[in-house]
Amino acid sequence: MADAGDDLHLTAPLSHLGGAAPPAPAWFDAAVAAPHERAEVVVEGAAIEWLAWGERGRPGLLLLHGNGAHADWWRFIAPFLAPTHRVAALSWSGMGGSDHRARYTIDLFVAEALAVAEAAGLGPSFHAVGHSFGGFPMMALAGRAGTPLRRAIILDTPFRPEPRPRAGRGAPRPHRVYPTRTEALARFRFAPVQPCANLFITDFLARHSLRQVEGGWVWRFDPKLWQSFEARDGSDPLRAPQCPVALMWGERSSLMPGALVADMARRLPPGTPLVPLPEAGHHVMADQPLALVAALRALLAADAAATGRP
């Protein structure tokens, strides 16, 4: 039986396109073309890229991406939330258009989130959505006394009962330089690998994950990031958050099996909303973007109704 490594739909989903962009539906083209700001804020010596949509003064919403991704992963999600919120997304240091660092810590990532929230005008309190890795610094912030988070929305972040020991790793390998963008696009894949029926989203994410250098194209994330990362301590961020939390996950996510979801639900405060997203894998915004928008809208509206605040 062939494994995932033999399936080009999983390991090289854009390879058959020869560098051409696949057609996209009108809603997607309108969303990525929606007016937005793109700026930087310096945090502990590193320039951090951020994007924002919607009017300042509206309730704030901060969108936090996963490992190896960047702020543009939210480009086709955020405009649907901007009519009611001031929405911002950042690229973590070492990823996207943000600077690389000599060392990375959860505390630095928390500082980046807070600095972007201030620079983008999200107000003294705001909601946050943390996808995959983005859920870890978000929940570290949620655990702080006086946290500015009105609600922390965990999106397919696998908080295991016990932290996994860090596997020994050799020296990081520099990025391969692809002579052409077409060759680089042909090598793009999701990590973890998953199918995605929305090839136009896969292509968009891949194009915005590359930068041109002398001799060709490379991926934008820092290949040394995880060798330079100082892991968090063994405390459980789910047990004592200082703000309301919600848990969303893709029902087909390879990182969120049913037993882990049940365990996370037990560790979270009683009454935490649990929102499964049908037909979604780990990369929820890529394969079920409009379902994710609907789920976020519903949760934000419910919070506004419960508190009497927009």
In the prediction, which pLDDT does 1 show?
29
Is 12 part of any domain? Answer: no
The CA distance from 50 to 43, in Å, is 12
In this prediction, the residues of the chain whose per-residue pLDDT falls under 50 are: 1-4, 165, 167-168
Residue 19, judged by CB atoms within 10 A of its CB (0-12, 13-18, 19+), counts as middle
Closest CA to 13 of 252, 156, 177, 200: 200
Is 9 part of any domain? Answer: no
Domain that holds residue 227: 22-160+176-307
Distances (CA, A) of 223 to 94, 102, 220, 231, 234: 8, 12, 9, 17, 25
Is 249 part of any domain? Answer: yes
Is 111 part of any domain? Answer: yes
The CA distance from 154 to 147, in Å, is 16
Task: For residue range 194-237, list pLDDT tens digits in order.
Answer: 999 999 999 999 999 999 999 999 999 999 999 989 876 678 99
The CA distance from 43 to 108, in Å, is 8
Three-class DSSP labels, 161-208: CCCCCCCCCCCCCCCCCECCHHHHHCCCCCCCCCCCCCHHHHHHHHHC
Is 169 part of any domain? Answer: no
The CA distance from 78 to 248, in Å, is 17
Task: For residue range 265-275, list pLDDT tens digits in order.
Answer: 999 999 999 99
Is 11 part of any domain? Answer: no
Is 170 part of any domain? Answer: no
Closest CA to 292 of 272, 279, 277, 310: 277
Count helices and strands in the chain by DSSP H and E runs: 9, 12
Closest CA to 158 of 135, 127, 128, 129: 135
Is 1 part of any domain? Answer: no
Which CATH number is 180's domain given? 3.40.50.1820
In the prediction, which pLDDT does 4 show?
47
Distance of CA 76 to the CA centre of its chain: 13
Q: How many domains does the chain have?
A: 1
Length reported for the chain: 310
Strand-pair partners of 53: 87
In the prediction, which pLDDT does 150 show?
98
